[in-house]
Structure 1
């Protein structure tokens, strides 16, 4: 792995660890606002579960470099799986994380695909798939 990819993988891992811990602590209400009404589970359960998943993925990105390709695909899939929450926040005009208007919520939607690409690039998952 190249140095930029390694740095990208470690940075993404740190980002996910921080986000996961925030799900479980100080930003729980903000994340709860993003759980779509149509999800058939208790919103707090979804926030807690996704927080644990983020902590696990972040830890794996940092601590399991030998499994980086598999973790990269799992991380990308996770980012795809949570995208409906971001769409719901936009469609329902829900304020959270300082996204208090439709323009800022729409801009945030554009960043989710970048997270997917970041996970695939930083872990070499996409490159490995093409081989």
Structure 2
């Protein structure tokens, strides 16, 4: 499936963003990510942060380097963005201050960026186009 230079650049940027976010899960932003884990999730919050960090690193590297499978990388990243959205909702509903989001408005505005990431993953990989 062919993609334009703009789509390829967007895919690589998204991949780099995901890989960086994943590394930050495991290192300097660990506490911030722990604050986002929904209380209802029946898994240890630290394990959740570690596993989601590993998933983000893997997805990011796949988007950058597994060009042959970019469509599946885009679909997988989009699904991942849907799955982690509950953390953003939890941060908003529970008034959790993290990542500099210290007001209800800031936390609410952030919720609208998740659909953008979802669409970015699908668009940059041509995941919604039928094979021809």
Q: TM-score range by the shorter chain?
A: over 0.9
What is the CA distance between 1:85 and its match in structure 2?
0.5
Question: What's the offset of the Cα at 1:126?
Answer: 1.5
Contact 1:79–1:116 under 8 Å retained in 2: yes
How far off its partner does 1:127 sit?
2.1
Instruction: Give the root-mean-square deviation of aligned CA atoms.
Output: 1.0
Per-residue displacement from partner, 1:21-70 (whole Å, max 9, x unpaired)? 00000000000000000000110000000000000000000010000001
In the other structure, the counterpart of 1:128 is: 130
User: Which of structure 1's runs of 4+ aligned residues deviate more than 2 A?
Assistant: none
The runs of 5 or more residues in structure 1 that have no matched partner are: none
Q: Which runs of 5+ in 2 are unaligned?
A: none
Shift of 1:14: 0.3
Counterpart position of 2:55: 53
TM-score scaled by length of structure 1: 0.97
The separation in 1 between residues aligned to 2:30 and 2:5, in whole angstroms, is: 34
TM-score of the pair, normalised by structure 2: 0.96
Residue equivalent to 1:28: 30
Count of aligned pairs between the two proteins: 130
Q: Deviations over 1:46-98 (max 9, x none)?
A: 00000000000000000100000011000000000000000000000000000
